[in-house]
């Protein structure tokens, strides 16, 4: 059994020139983990997701390799994180927050994509896809092939587990 048997359309895709503010809006409104980002030829160029969003919210000292493991001294309250979320969703709160939002909200997504997303192809076996899901902790984009990279859809834990459980039940 291969990935082509469980391929699903993505709930939303964005273009590389779409803004960070638009991506944040889609993630929050649709409660998505990732949004595939495509070029004008519908090729996957990267992913933008909640992991990257959280990275943008945290101090840079905590997100760099071997960065700070304990941020208790920062003293962020739950309300402080809510303020940061409002900032990224398009609501400016305070001069410092406004400056930070102004710096990123209108930037194109291509500036904030992670390198080389983990992808599968229609011919990828489901067991291999499940292992990739385990290691990536996220939905996987399905592309035609590495050379062309045309985005075909997504698969998730739920898609794979549903298909595997239906096969063992029947």
**Total domains present in the chain:** 1
In this prediction the pTM is: 0.72
pLDDT band at 76 (very low <50, low <70, confident <90, very high): low
- Percent helix, percent strand, percent coil in the chain, to nearest 5: 45, 20, 35
Specify the range with the lowest mean pLDDT, choosing from 33-37, 121-125, 135-139, 166-170: 166-170
**Model confidence over 153-162: pLDDT tens digits?**
999 888 888 8
Task: Quote the mean pLDDT of the chain.
Answer: 79
Q: What is the CA radius of gyration of the chain?
A: 18
**Cβ atoms 150, 42 nearer than 8 A:** yes
In this predicted structure, the answer to whether residue 91 has a pLDDT above a threshold of 80 is no
What CATH number corresponds to the domain at position 18? 3.10.580.10
Gap between the Cα atoms of 25 and 19, Å rounded: 10
- Mean pLDDT for 112-135 is 89
In this predicted structure, the answer to whether residue 14 has a pLDDT above a threshold of 90 is yes
Gap between the Cα atoms of 95 and 150, Å rounded: 42
Residue numbers of the domain that contains 139: 3-169
Residues 133-150: b if buried by 16+ CB within 10 A, e if exposed: beeeebbbbbbeeeeebe
- Higher model confidence: residue 53 or residue 126? 126
Share of the chain above pLDDT 90, in %: 32
**Cβ atoms 113, 48 nearer than 8 A:** yes
């Amino acid at each position: 059994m291969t990935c082509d048997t469980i391929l699903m359309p993505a709930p939303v895709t964005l273009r590389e020139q779409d803004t960070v503010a638009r991506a944040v809006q889609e993630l929050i409104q649709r409660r998505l983990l990732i949004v595939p980002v495509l070029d004008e030829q519908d090729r996957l160029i990267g992913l933008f997701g909640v992991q990257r969003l959280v990275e943008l919210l945290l101090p840079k000292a905590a997100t760099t390799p071997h960065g700070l493991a304990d941020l208790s001294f920062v003293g962020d309250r739950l309300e402080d994180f809510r303020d940061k979320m409002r900032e990224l969703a398009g609501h400016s709160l305070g001069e410092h927050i406004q400056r930070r939002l102004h710096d990123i909200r209108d930037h194109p997504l291509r500036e904030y994509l992670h390198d080389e997303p983990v992808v599968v192809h229609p011919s990828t076996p489901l067991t291999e896809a499940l292992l990739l899901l385990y290691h990536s902790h996220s939905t996987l984009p399905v592309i035609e092939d590495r050379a062309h990279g045309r985005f075909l859809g997504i698969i998730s834990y739920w898609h794979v587990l549903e298909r595997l459980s239906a096969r063992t039940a029947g």
